[in-house]
């Protein structure tokens, strides 16, 4: 659904704005470079987490490719965002 100012809404992924080519700006994750995966899954890249993988059936769980960790995304508003690392059992701050 196209919202105000060109923002789109995904029932499973939330609000985002499409940028150039494969870039999008997500309401909680910030700028992401996205690549479709198998089925409805998606790879997304940002400079802090590098490559993350997710799909509609598991989001807000994300797989982080650089260290093989499973993360759970937690947002307490637009600026207070964390990943719970299920491998280390520790919270990691989500950077913009």
pTM score of the predicted model? 0.86
Q: Give first-to-last CA distance, the chain, whole Å.
A: 25
d(CA 88, CA 71): 10
> Mean pLDDT of all residues in the chain?
89
What contacts 58, CB < 8 A, 6 or more positions away? none
Q: Is 80 helix (H, G, I), strand (E, B) or coil?
A: coil
49-88 tens-digit pLDDT: 899 999 999 999 999 999 999 999 998 876 788 999 999 9
Beta-strand pair 14-18/81-85: unpaired
Domain boundaries, given as residue ranges, for the chain: 4-93
């Amino acid at each position: 659904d196209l919202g105000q100012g060109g923002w789109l809404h995904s029932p499973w992924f939330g609000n985002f704005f499409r940028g150039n080519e494969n870039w999008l700006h997500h309401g909680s994750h910030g700028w992401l470079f996205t690549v479709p995966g198998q089925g409805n899954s998606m790879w997304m890249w940002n400079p802090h987490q590098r490559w993350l993988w997710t799909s509609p059936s598991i989001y807000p769980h994300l797989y982080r490719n650089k260290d093989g960790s499973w993360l759970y995304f937690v947002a307490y508003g637009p600026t207070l965002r964390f990943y719970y690392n299920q491998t280390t059992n520790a919270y990691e701050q989500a950077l913009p």
